Structure 1
Amino acid sequence: MDYHLTLNWPDFIERYWQKRPVVLKRGFANFVDPISPDELAGLAMENEVDSRLVSHLDGKWQVSHGPFESYDHLDETNWSLLVQAVDHWHEPSAALMRPFRALPDWRIDDLMISFSVPGGGVGPHLDQYDVFIIQGTGRRRWRVGEKVPMKQHCPHPDLLQVDPFEGIIDEELEPGDILYIPPGFPHEGYSLENSLNYSVGFRAPSGRELFSGFADYILQRELGSQRYTDPDVPAREHPAEILPQEVDRLREMMQGLMNQPEQFQQWLGEFISQSRHELDVAPPEPPYQPDEIYDALQQGDKLARLGGLRVLKIGDDVFVNGEKIDSPHRPALNALAGNMVLESEHFGDALEDPSFLAMLAALVNSGYWFFEG
């Protein structure tokens, strides 16, 4: 199904993006759920899928992690089932991400879906990333507070909740309504009836994550092996002293590694194109031969991108799930990055190049693209 978002993106970005929370009434007109509660519950029973059950009974919060074998022990109130990265595992749900491509692909993370019974929720909390929460079936009440320093506490180790707050938004959301919340605004939602919610989350790497990822890249590539030298080591009054110019030289050694544009771009493309959650990769059996790919495309078959696969472009370079794709056929690479579904015309004369066909076959045989059934 195609979802159409009724949103003026330039106006939204100017007024709200990373600035203020807002309720977008009927953001999706005539909204239809892409998944049922039973399908969601089935996904949460799979080993590869990240899921949680959160309940609040007698003033106590409880969290259990999937995979789940049964739900027979659950009452009719005060619990929520949350499943992460559903766009990786359920193709109809992945379609819900596409209207948000008005924002950069590299910033979009994944789709979390929750099913909640009356009273179900995860308590007052705040996130360090942007999120659009789409209301599906049912009704849910949401409160959002002002962005002020708030004390976090842990009624349960898996729930980083905050103290009660005064709401600047307090509304019931109905199917198709969307609540946008920037980072740092405390919020709380609880269901008024059985309901589905869809959270489109955005990636916001911390400096710590970036340094850690770059350090791993340096070690893997055996970069930075040049050692510190000081042929004109300066005299000093105290042997224990590290002189300012020595501190500067050491810092410059470290900065020099990041100030190599080609290496930095290669690392960034590999790092930022990797998914944080497992992909539902199913390599075809038997593998496709390049000429079979060619024939299928010429006959009008379409290649669809695997849900959750990150395909990103930096300059002329295209990265797929942590790997750079090498080819001189730039328009065809741009098509790979820009389109969720590909036809023969997207590739142009690149299909006549055996090396490009071999690369495309390798991507399909990795399970990253597949022919639509």
Structure 2
Amino acid sequence: MTQTLRPFTHLGDMPIETFLRDYWQKKPLLIRQALPNFESPLSADELAGLCLEDDVISRLITETPQSSPFNSEWNVTHGPLPEDIFETLPENYWSLLVQHVDQLSPEVNQLLNLFRFIPNWRLDDVMISYAPDKGGVGPHFDYYDVFLLQGHGQRRWRLGQQCTSKSPMLANAPMKVLTEFDVQEDWVLNPGDILYVPPGLAHWGTAVGESITYSVGFRAPSHQDIVLDFSQEVASKIEEDNRYQDQFLTANKNAGEITGDAIEQLKHILQTYMQDEQALAQWLGKSMTQLNPGMVDEAENTIEPEEMANTPFTLSPFARATFYRADSNSEAYIFINGEVYSGSLELANALSNYLPIDWLSCSETDKLILDTLAQQYLLVSLT
């Protein structure tokens, strides 16, 4: 049975509250032996096997070093990879990346639980990278927070400057590689060590010998996506009869001018929809629990509806779940894999925290929801 991991209460000796106050989205933090005696749940051979599968998102990145490390030539091959590709690779300077491994391995999925001191809807996935000596993906930065857990071997991490979209990048490369790097920290991580890297901070990982690294990333929608996606969601529900109105229009001194009154009317229209907290919550919950490409949309070995009255069950850990309190403190909108359900706050808490559920204690409304979820997302509880 897969061990159930609990959220960190401390990172090393540091309380989580201190980390969130002083480090989260502010500055990096190295935690030596955050997971003592940690052993990688997956081997290099198992990762290579995943890259051969059609429904697994993977990349093989190879580097051809030049006189300057900032002028290397890079090549990216997207999976599924041909089985014989590993026979043609050099001894050094390549890296294998596999996305959404938390959806492929129960043991890897458990690693997400360690970071549930961050809201569920912010958690994205666990990516695993394997590299032989000197392998990596070059100096780069991400727009999201990441915890880098060393799983096997060693990896050298150099941390640099804060970056933006205007930071200089290697031209004509198939991936974003920085051409400037101001080293601020230089660490070698061992199994069980974790490095937290905030958004926008340049970082550069290089394998020291054979290395496996687990990257726990977080969803960070851009303002562009928030405005565009939410406005589309709202617009799809607005009746055509709702139109711009100016029934208190006064004579315009200059017919060519857009007046301040017109702008105020437009602001009022937009604010009417933007201030609808229920609409915002429903968009956020559905959007942030949608599965990424390559993620499974059904669990295996789900419980049969007739079994639910006799045994406790839980939401599959492979499902993405969160909730938002409705106007009533006893009811909630429950979001699972991009779908929304209206149920009790007790059910919302149990589902989104993957806790055992007792069918006999559920309301009739909650039972209807559970009937809908049963053969797709609910599993017999093992705790």
Normalising by structure 1, we get a TM-score of 0.89
* 8 Å Cα contact 1:134/1:197 also seen in 2: yes
* 8 Å Cα contact 1:136/1:198 also seen in 2: yes
Structure-2 residue corresponding to 1:33: 40
Which whole-Å CA distance do the structure 2 matches of 1:257 and 1:37 have between them? 50
Greater CA deviation, 114-123 or 155-164? 155-164
Greater CA deviation, 237-246 or 27-36? 237-246
Letter in 1 for 2:351: L
Which whole-Å CA distance do the structure 2 matches of 1:89 and 1:319 have between them? 22
| 1:45 and 2:65 matched | no
* Secondary structure of the structure 2 residue equivalent to 1:294: coil
Which whole-Å CA distance do the structure 2 matches of 1:177 and 1:282 have between them? 33
Structure-2 residue corresponding to 1:334: 349
Unaligned runs of 5+ in 2: 66-71, 326-331
* Secondary structure of the structure 1 residue equivalent to 2:370: helix
Which whole-Å CA distance do the structure 2 matches of 1:184 and 1:102 have between them? 22
Which whole-Å CA distance do the structure 1 matches of 2:16 and 2:235 have between them? 41
- Residues 108-167 of structure 1 show CA distances to partners (whole Å, capped at 9, x for unaligned) of 111111111111111111111110000111111110013256623144554212223222
**How far off its partner does 1:204 sit?**
1.2
* Secondary structure of the structure 2 residue equivalent to 1:13: helix
* 8 Å Cα contact 2:62/2:93 also seen in 1: yes
Instruction: Pick from 127, 147, 165 the counterpart of residue 142 of structure 2.
Output: 127
Which whole-Å CA distance do the structure 2 matches of 1:371 and 1:2 have between them? 15
Residue identity over aligned pairs, in percent, reads 33
Which whole-Å CA distance do the structure 2 matches of 1:225 and 1:159 have between them? 47
Letter in 2 for 1:371: V
Structure-2 residue corresponding to 1:356: 366
- Within 5 Å, give how 1:1-373 maps onto structure 2: 1-3=3-5, 5=8, 7=11, 8-58=15-65, 59-70=72-83, 71-147=86-162, 151-223=167-239, 225-282=241-298, 290-297=305-312, 302-303=313-314, 305-307=316-318, 309-315=319-325, 316-327=332-343, 329-339=344-354, 341-344=355-358, 349-350=361-362, 353=363, 355-366=365-376, 368-371=377-380
Letter in 2 for 1:74: L
Which whole-Å CA distance do the structure 2 matches of 1:305 and 1:372 have between them? 9
Unaligned runs of 5+ in 1: none
Which whole-Å CA distance do the structure 1 matches of 2:88 and 2:172 have between them? 20
**How far off its partner does 1:354 sit?**
5.2
Which whole-Å CA distance do the structure 1 matches of 2:163 and 2:245 have between them? 48
Which whole-Å CA distance do the structure 1 matches of 2:152 and 2:247 have between them? 72
* 8 Å Cα contact 1:146/1:185 also seen in 2: yes
Greater CA deviation, 247-256 or 228-237? 228-237
Which whole-Å CA distance do the structure 1 matches of 2:154 and 2:232 have between them? 45
Letter in 2 for 1:60: E
Alignment CA distance shift 1:186-1:153 (3 Å) = same
* 8 Å Cα contact 2:304/2:375 also seen in 1: no
Structure-1 residue corresponding to 2:68: none
**How far off its partner does 1:190 sit?**
0.7
Which whole-Å CA distance do the structure 2 matches of 1:79 and 1:343 have between them? 46
* 8 Å Cα contact 2:285/2:338 also seen in 1: yes
* Secondary structure of the structure 2 residue equivalent to 1:342: coil
Alignment CA distance shift 1:364-1:15 (3 Å) = same
Q: CA RMSD in A?
A: 2.3
Alignment CA distance shift 1:225-1:138 (3 Å) = farther
* 8 Å Cα contact 1:76/1:118 also seen in 2: yes
Alignment CA distance shift 1:21-1:283 (3 Å) = closer
Alignment CA distance shift 1:224-1:276 (3 Å) = farther
**How far off its partner does 1:225 sit?**
4.9
Greater CA deviation, 313-322 or 189-198? 313-322
Which whole-Å CA distance do the structure 1 matches of 2:50 and 2:129 have between them? 12
* 8 Å Cα contact 1:115/1:197 also seen in 2: yes
Greater CA deviation, 41-50 or 231-240? 231-240
Which whole-Å CA distance do the structure 2 matches of 1:257 and 1:224 have between them? 15
Which whole-Å CA distance do the structure 2 matches of 1:38 and 1:126 have between them? 28
Alignment CA distance shift 1:15-1:106 (3 Å) = same
Which whole-Å CA distance do the structure 2 matches of 1:25 and 1:112 have between them? 21
